[in-house]
Structure formats: structure tokens, C-alpha cells
Structure 1
Amino acid sequence: MAKKPEKNVGAPPWMVTFADLMALLLTMFVLLLSFSTMDVDRYKKIAGAMSESFGLSALTRLSGMIEVEGFFTGKHIKQVAPKAAISIDLPDVIGETPMENEALEALPDEMSEDQMADEAIQENLRRVLASELEGKQISIEESGDQTIITFTDEIAFPAGSERLAETFLPTMDKLISVLAEAEGQIIVAGHTDDRPISTARFRSNWDLSTARAVSVVHQILKSGKIAPERVTAQGYADSRPLVANDSPENRALNRRVEISIRKR
């Protein structure tokens, strides 16, 4: 009996053609790549833009800070950005510089110096006006950034007049000696009660209160110890009473002149 011819075992014919095609395509891509030029700077810019868009640069900037109750501190933590990022220790407060540190450290000293100056002014006033304070003719108080000296019209002016009483001039001299040593603006404000006034000299309490403030300013400047640009005169009539104008005693308290020393 004749034997059947054996079949050839191997890849199908189309496989050879496919392999040749793949080899040719690979060769073509290699040649194209070898002919092209690489723009390194351009690729760096593209890579940087991509990193920033994914938030990596923000992580880099914040990598040296820890947020505690809304404030960033300078505690150092490990970098969470790529290897190219650099870990930096930041100051205790964002934006804090040595110059700002010095300013902050000097602030309490400046405040204490201002407070000491205010206390010195008040101490001098209480010393030179001891008798007037004891007789409750004058009062001294601190209000915010100013020291206020208040005296009633009964000791400073004749009734219905803006002229300083001769008996009050020695007290004014004492006041002026302290004002000359103090720093800041000097504001003289006149006040009246609510009883209307209308005379040939004063049309209303506005005229009277302003005229009395001006008389005090003139006496201050007459001494020659205080520069005119430091002094201001104001008149408020009955618009700013200390107490209700419901009795003779209260009206007497509201008829007054206030000298304020403003340091700031």
C-alpha cells in the first residue's frame, strides 16, 4: 500500500507577509524619529505647565507649612511634590520678615512710652492744680488717646461774658506750663447749658461757647510757650451736655470749657 504524502508543518503563508510588513513599519518609525529634532526647552515648558495644572506647584509652595487654627506655621514637613520639588522652611508667619519682627518687638515699647508720657502729663497736672482739684473746680480725665481738663464757667468767666476772670488767670498759667511740656494737639472746646441767650454781643449760645474757647486760646498763645498750629478752638453751645439740663446744679456742670491734649 502506498504511503500518503506528509503535510508540511509551519507558519501559514500569510504570516511571513505580515511579519515583513511589521518590520518595515518599525523601520520607518525609527527613521522618522532619528530625522526629527528634540526641542528640550519646549518640552520643559510643557511639562511645567502640566505639573502646575495638576496642582504640583501649589503642593511645593505649601510643603514647608502646617496650618494650625487658620495660621500657617514654619514647622517643616516632608515634600509631597515630585522629586524635582524642593522643601523649604518658612517663617512662623507668612510675609514675616526680620524688619517686621523688629517693628512688632518695638510696638510694645512705643505703647509703653506713650502711656508713660500720658501718665506724666496727668501727674504734672494733678500736682500743679492740686488746690483746684481739691476744691472740685477742675477735673482731669483720660478718654481714649487724649487727656481732658475741664473747668466750669463759674470759676473762669463772669456771667454772660467771654472774658477770663482775673482770679482765674493764675490757674491758666499753671495749665499753660504743663501744656507747653506736653506733645500733641491742644483742642479748646466751649459748652453752655440749654437756656437761650440773645444779646447785642452774642446771638446765641453758639457765639458764647465759641467766644469763650477763643478767649482761652488767646491766653494760651499769649504766653508764647506753645506754637499756634498746635491749638484749636471749638464751640458746641448746648449740643454736648454732660448731664440733663433739669436743675441749676446740672446746668452749672454743663457750662464748661474743656482742654483736650491729643497725642495721636
Structure 2
Amino acid sequence: MSKKTRHEPHEEHADESWLLPYSDLMTLLLALFITLFSMSSLDAKQFEEMAKSVSAAFNGGSGVLDYKSANPTEATADLGKNKEEIVPTKTKNPDAAVKSQTNTQKLAQQEEEDLQKLKQKLDQYIKQHGLTNQLNTKLNQSQLLITISDNALFASGQAEVKPDARILAKAISSMLTQFSGYDVIVSGHTDNMPIENSRYASNWELSSDRANHFMKILLLNNQLNPSKFSTIGYGEYRPITTNDTPAGRAQNRRVEVSIVRKYQNGTQVISATSRNN
């Protein structure tokens, strides 16, 4: 009887199918590292362009190699232009800015000296003519304010300036000629007692008319510029004290002449007249 050939059992071959995804993974990691390395030498704009190209390639569009800016010099130039758009503008000449600020401070200081001189002249005039109970001046951060009691200027319920009060108005206008560059606001004020005559329907009309009459006398001086002057009628709505007493109502009936500052806290103020010129 013949012997059957006995075959040794074959060893099982190891499963090497894992090498395929492993090699794919290594390839992807290499691509990632290359991308990260190239990003280290790119800025945000270039990365954005690259991302658009990659996205286009995956979506069936043109790939990275089709990027329109094939010339590195042109790409760098375009990038420089984009950077200029987003970088905040710096002062080109800091010395000029410092010089301008210093000049503004000098002008503000000169203005302070001018208004102080004008106030001193007004106070001296008030004292010499015994008008301390009818006029006063006040210099603050926004203006030099001259307050004139209504009984020094007008008859009760009237807007025409008294003949002797015209002398006062002309004296004020004469002083203003030395400081003619300032805006001047003349405002009229009344108490809260209703007006009782046929000429004025309300305190609004009376206060406005009084301010206009006083301003017209100031502008009889042809050395003053009318474009710098304006009037306001406040009626009874800007009281400086109570209207519950005769003395309080007398204080509220007044005309105010405001010489408006051009500079406040060392900064130039652009007035309405300046904007229109």
C-alpha cells in the first residue's frame, strides 16, 4: 500500500492590510506639516488666498497651481497694498502736531487775557457810573456774560431802549471793538407775569424784541461785524432766581450780552458763524 505524502501545515501569512490606511495617514500628516510650515512664512492675506485655491480645487474649480498671481513679486506688491488699508494711519509729522497744539494753547491763553481785560474795563465803567445794582459781569469757561437789569434799559412792558440807556449800549459797543473777533449773543428774559398790552401777545415776543432793540444800538458802531451777532428771546423760561417775590422777578427781567469763547479747556470751539464762513 502506497504511502500518502504528508504535507506539513503552512504557516498563516500575517494580515498586512493595515499598511494601506497607515501609509495614507502618513501621507496626510506629511502634507499637514508641509502646509503648517508654509503658513509660518505667510500672513493672513496669503493664507486666505491659499485656502480659497484649495477649496476651489476640492470643489472642482481651479487648483493651487492655477492661482492667478503666479508672479511672487506681484503677489507681494498686492499684499503690501492690502496691509496699507488696514494699518491705522499714523501722524506723518508728529512735530507739526505738537506745534499745532502749542499754538492752540497760546491762542487760548491770549483769549483768556483779552476777556479778562474786557471784564476789567466793564467793571470799571459800572463802578464809575454807579451801575453796580443794574449791571454785573461774569467770566466762565464758555463766555464773558454781561447782565443788565431791564429797568436800566426799558420801561415796563416796552422794548424801546431808554434814551439814557443808549449811552450804556454805546459804551459797551465801544469796548467790544477791541475784541471784534468774538461771537456775541444778546438774549432777552422776562419774569413769569403775563404780558398785558396790545403790542405783545406773550413774554416770548417781548423778550425777543428787547434783545433785537439792544443789539441794533450796539451795531450802530460800524466797527463791529454784524455777522458775529445774534439774538435770542427766552421769555420767562430761563429764570436765575425765584419768580415768587417782586425782588426775584426784577432779577429775572434782564438782557444778557454773551461774548462767546473760541477756546474752551485749551481746545478750539467751532462756532456756527465759523462753519458758515
| Deviation digits for residues 182-220 of structure 1 (CA, Å, limit 9, x no counterpart) | 231110000000000142100010011001001001111
C-alpha change, 1:246 and 1:51, in structure 2 (3 Å) is closer
Residue of 243, 246, 249 corresponding to 1:245: 243
| 1:25-40 correspondence runs (5 A) | none
Cα distance in 2 between the residues matched to 1:209 and 1:244: 18
Residue pair 2:126, 2:132 contacting (<8 A) in 1 also: no
Q: Secondary structure at the match of 1:129?
A: helix
- Name the SS for the 1:253 alignment partner: helix
Once the two structures are TM-superposed, the CA of residue 47 in structure 1 deviates from its matched residue by 6.5
Q: What is aligned with 1:160?
A: 157
- Which residue number in structure 1 is paired with residue 217 of structure 2? 219
Match of 1:101 among 57, 76, 98: 98
Match of 2:258 in 1: 260
1-side partners of 2:256 and 2:164: how far apart? 18
| Matched residue, 1:130 | 127
Q: Which residue of 2 aligns with 1:111?
A: 108
Contact 1:129–1:174 under 8 Å retained in 2: no
Distance 1:52 1:137, change over 3 A: same
- Secondary structure at 1:187 match in 2: strand
Match of 2:174 among 170, 173, 177: 177
Distance in structure 2 (CA, Å) of the matches to 1:120 and 1:130: 15
1:227 deviates by: 1.6
Q: Post-superposition shift, 1:51?
A: 11
Q: Compared with structure 1, are the counterparts of its residues 50 and 236 closer, same or farther at alpha carbon in structure 2 (3 Å cutoff)? A: closer
Corresponding residue of 1:16: none
Query: d(CA) in 1 for partners of 2:166 and 2:111?
Result: 30
C-alpha contact (below 8 Å) 2:157/2:197 kept by paired residues? no
Which amino acid counterpart does residue 144 of structure 1 have in structure 2? Q
- For structure 2, the 5+ residue unaligned runs are 1-37, 47-89, 263-277
After superposing on structure 2, the runs of 4+ consecutive aligned residues of structure 1 that deviate more than 6 Å are: 50-53
Cα separation, 1, equivalents of 2:200 and 2:106:
49
Deviations 1:212-248 (A, max 9, x none): 0010011112232312111111100000000010100
- Whether the aligned pair in 1 keeps the contact of 2:123 and 2:136 (CA below 8 Å) is no
Report the AA paired with residue 219 of structure 2. L
**Residue type matched to 2:42 in 1?**
A
Cα distance change on mapping 1:159 and 1:46 into 2, 3 Å: same
Q: What's the counterpart of residue 16 of structure 2?
A: none
Structure 1 Cα separation of the partners of residues 134 and 165 of structure 2? 11
From 218, 225, 228, the counterpart of 2:226: 228
Contact 2:173 2:219 in 1 (8 A): no
What amino acid does structure 2 have at the position aligned with 1:49?
Answer: L
Measured in 2, the distance between the counterparts of 1:173 and 1:150 equals 15
Q: Distance in 2 between matches of 1:152 and 1:253?
A: 7
1:139 matched residue in structure 2: 136
Q: Does 1:120 align with 2:113?
A: no
Per the alignment, in what secondary structure is the counterpart of residue 49 of structure 1?
coil
For residue 124 of structure 1, what is the amino acid of its counterpart? K
For 2:131 and 2:166, how far apart are their aligned partners in 1? 18
Greater relative contact order (Cα < 8 A, sep 6+): 2
Shift of 1:52: 10
Amino acid at match of 1:170: I
Residue by residue over 1:80-107, the C-alpha shift from the partner in whole angstroms, topping out at 9 and shown as x without a partner, is: xxxxxxxxxxxxxx85711122223334
Classify 1:179/1:105 alpha carbon distance in 2 versus 1 (closer, same or farther; 3 Å). Answer: closer
Partner of 2:67: none
Contact map agreement 1:139 1:149 (CA 8 A) in 2: yes
Q: Alignment identity in percent?
A: 24
Contact 1:189–1:257 (Cα < 8 Å) also in 2: yes
Greater Cα radius of gyration, structure 1 or 2: 1
TM-score by length of 2: 0.60
1:49 aligns with 2:42: yes
Point out where structure 1 has 5 or more consecutive residues left out of the alignment: 1-44, 54-93
